[in-house]
Chains A and B, each alone.
Chain A
């Protein structure tokens, strides 16, 4: 089983739609969690950290369920500019960050 798994995608949604991405991790000692966004042929950029209490940043909401070892990202009112690959990232200790394979999102006009 891979350390971090994500919905395989791709997700093709119309503008204005709500879309949710799921991520599971296998290492119960994982310490911190992030969602990164990666545009085509660009570097990953931090979208948001994920906290146990859940957190929201504008149209983006992240949730963490430690018991189920599950992370989610919800995007409301999708924009064309949200089209990208979304990477689930888990820190398993020190500076050891494990990336999921990513889920590609295409928001269609």
Chain B
């Protein structure tokens, strides 16, 4: 049973570019959340997708957008990259959107913006 998988594992971009990160949730999970983790800090919630819709959103600008596909996989897109977007981007999945369920994390995509 594959866990949460993310691709790519590492990415280097320059300011102003756009990036797309991908996530496949754990089998049986239909809810996907994305987090940004800067060095030395805890993960910060970006948004959550369920039934192909954005259900909740954290305090991130519109440059951060996402999508969920019918197979529950998800993409995170970041436009007009800034140096401050350099971080580990984590995807987490859970079995349903109801409260309190444990989240399972992928290994993350480490994004460096130069």
Contact = CB atoms under 8 A, between A and B. Distances in A.
B41 interface: yes
Interface residues of B, number: 30
Interface string B85-114: 000101010100111111111111010000
Interface residues of A, number: 23
B99 A101 contact: no
Nearest to B101: A95
Interface stretch (B14-22, B42-50, B67-75, B76-84): B42-50
Nearest to A104: B40
Given A43-B90, A46-B102, A87-B42, A95 B107 contact: no
B55 A95 contact: yes
A89 to B, nearest CB: 8
B43 A44 contact: yes
Contact of A97 (B33, B88, B107, B108): B33
A25 to B, nearest CB: 13
Contacts of A46: 102-104
Contacts of B40: 101
B24 interface: no
Contact of A94 (B41, B44, B88, B97): B97
A49 B100 CA distance: 10
Contacts of B103: 46, 95, 97
A57 to B, nearest CB: 14
A95 B53 CA distance: 14
Interface of A: 4, 31-32, 34, 41-46, 49, 87, 91, 93-102
12 contacts: A4-B42, A32-B100, A42-B107, A43-B108, A46-B102, A87-B42, A87-B43, A91-B100, A95-B31, A96-B56, A99-B42, A99-B45
